[in-house]
A and B are shown apart, each in its own frame.
Chain A
Amino acid sequence: MSMLIRLAARSAWNRRFTLGLILLAIALSTTLLLGIERIRHDVRESFSQSVSGTDLVVGARTSSVQLMLYAIFHIGGATNNIGWDSAQKLAHNPAVAWTIPLSLGDSHRGFPVLATNGDYFTHFHYGDKQPLRFTAGQPFHNVFQTVLGADVAHQLHYKIGDKITLSHGSGDAHLTEHADKPFVISGILANTGTPVDRTVHIGLDAMEAIHLDWEGGAPIKGLMIPSEMVKKFDLTPKTVTAVLVGLKNRASVFALQRDIADDKDDPQMAVLPGVALDELWQVVGIGEKVLLAVSGMVVVVGLAGLVSSILASLGERRRELAILRSVGAHPIDIFFLLALEGFVVMLVGVLLGIVLLNVVILLLGPFLTSEFGITLHPALPTKEELLLLLWTVIGGLMASLLPGLRAYRLSLSDGLTPKV
Chain B
Amino acid sequence: MSEAVINVENVSFSWPGQSAPTLQMDAFKVERQDQVFIAGPSGSGKSTLLALIGGIVVPQRGTIAILGTELHSISASARDQFRVDHIGFIFQQFNLIPYLSILDNVLLPCQFSRYRRQRALAQGTTLRSAAESLLRSLDLAPALWSRPVTQLSIGQQQRVAAARALIGQPEIIVADEPTSALDADRQQRFLDLMQRECEQACSTLLFVSHDQRLASRFSHRLALNELNHAAHLEDQV
Q: Contact residues of A with B, CB < 8 Å?
A: 3, 10-11, 13-14, 319-320, 322-332, 412-413, 415-417, 419
CA distance A207 to B237 in the complex (A): 93
Given contacts A14-B98, A323-B95, A330-B77, is CB(A413)–CB(B16) below 8 Å? yes
Taking a contact as CB atoms under 8 Å apart, the answer to whether B54 and A10 are in contact is no
Q: Chain B: which residue is nearest A409 at the CB level? A: B16
Given contacts A14-B99, A415-B51, A417-B47, is CB(A319)–CB(B94) below 8 Å? yes
Chain B 1-41, CB-CB to A under 8 Å as 1, else 0, gives 00000000000000110000000000000000000000000
* Residues of chain A contacted by B100 (CB below 8 angstroms): 10
Q: Pick from B16, B48, B89, B95 the residue with the most CB of A within 10 Å.
A: B89
Taking a contact as CB atoms under 8 Å apart, the answer to whether A415 and B57 are in contact is yes
B133 within 8 A of A: no
Taking a contact as CB atoms under 8 Å apart, the answer to whether A416 and B99 are in contact is no
Taking a contact as CB atoms under 8 Å apart, the answer to whether A3 and B111 are in contact is yes
* Residues of chain B contacted by A322 (CB below 8 angstroms): 91
CA distance A10 to B111 in the complex (A): 15
- 15 contacts across the A-B interface (CB closer than 8 A): A3-B111, A319-B94, A320-B98, A323-B95, A324-B108, A325-B80, A327-B112, A328-B80, A328-B112, A330-B76, A412-B56, A415-B56, A416-B47, A416-B54, A417-B91
User: What is the size, in residues, of chain B's interface with A at 8 Å between Cβ atoms?
Assistant: 33
* Nearest-Cβ distance from residue A3 to partner chain B, whole angstroms: 5
B176 within 8 A of A: yes
B184 within 8 A of A: no
B109 within 8 A of A: yes
B50 within 8 A of A: yes
* Residues of chain A contacted by B77 (CB below 8 angstroms): 330, 332
* Nearest-Cβ distance from residue B46 to partner chain A, whole angstroms: 8
CA distance A244 to B50 in the complex (A): 88
Taking a contact as CB atoms under 8 Å apart, the answer to whether B50 and A417 are in contact is yes
Q: Contact residues of B with A, CB < 8 Å?
A: 15-16, 47-48, 50-51, 54, 56-57, 76-77, 80-81, 83-85, 89, 91, 94-100, 108-109, 111-113, 164, 176, 237
* Residues of chain B contacted by A10 (CB below 8 angstroms): 99-100
CA distance A332 to B75 in the complex (A): 14
Taking a contact as CB atoms under 8 Å apart, the answer to whether B80 and A329 are in contact is yes
Q: Chain B: which residue is nearest A326 at the CB level? A: B89
Q: What 19 additional pairs, Cβ within 8 angstroms, besides A416-B50, A417-B47?
A: A3-B111, A11-B97, A322-B91, A323-B108, A326-B54, A326-B89, A326-B91, A327-B109, A327-B164, A328-B84, A328-B85, A329-B80, A329-B112, A330-B80, A331-B80, A415-B47, A416-B91, A417-B50, A417-B176
* Residues of chain A contacted by B85 (CB below 8 angstroms): 328
For the complex of A and B, list the 5 residue pairs with the smallest distance between their C-beta atoms, beginning with the closest. Answer: A328-B84, A328-B112, A415-B51, A14-B99, A326-B89
* Residues of chain B contacted by A329 (CB below 8 angstroms): 80, 112
Taking a contact as CB atoms under 8 Å apart, the answer to whether A323 and B56 are in contact is no
CA distance A101 to B76 in the complex (A): 84
* Residues of chain B contacted by A13 (CB below 8 angstroms): 99
Q: Chain A: which residue is nearest B94 at the CB level? A: A319
CA distance A325 to B76 in the complex (A): 12
CA distance A244 to B141 in the complex (A): 91
CA distance A3 to B104 in the complex (A): 11
Taking a contact as CB atoms under 8 Å apart, the answer to whether A416 and B112 are in contact is no
Q: Out of A11, A328, A331, which one reaches B109, CB within 8 Å?
A: A328
Q: Chain B: which residue is nearest A415 at the CB level? A: B51
CA distance A145 to B128 in the complex (A): 88
Q: Chain B: which residue is nearest A417 at the CB level? A: B47
* Residues of chain B contacted by A412 (CB below 8 angstroms): 56
CA distance A332 to B77 in the complex (A): 9
Q: Pick from A11, A319, A412 the residue with the most CB of B within 10 Å.
A: A319
CA distance A324 to B95 in the complex (A): 10
* Residues of chain A contacted by B16 (CB below 8 angstroms): 413
Q: Chain B: which residue is nearest A12 at the CB level? A: B99
* Nearest-Cβ distance from residue B91 to partner chain A, whole angstroms: 7
CA distance A8 to B58 in the complex (A): 29
CA distance A327 to B98 in the complex (A): 15
CA distance A3 to B15 in the complex (A): 32
Taking a contact as CB atoms under 8 Å apart, the answer to whether A415 and B99 are in contact is no
Q: Pick from A320, A329, A332, A415 the residue with the most CB of B within 10 Å.
A: A415
CA distance A326 to B112 in the complex (A): 10
Taking a contact as CB atoms under 8 Å apart, the answer to whether A415 and B50 are in contact is yes
* Residues of chain B contacted by A415 (CB below 8 angstroms): 47-48, 50-51, 54, 56-57
* Residues of chain A contacted by B56 (CB below 8 angstroms): 325, 412, 415-416
* Residues of chain A contacted by B83 (CB below 8 angstroms): 326, 328
* Nearest-Cβ distance from residue B22 to partner chain A, whole angstroms: 11
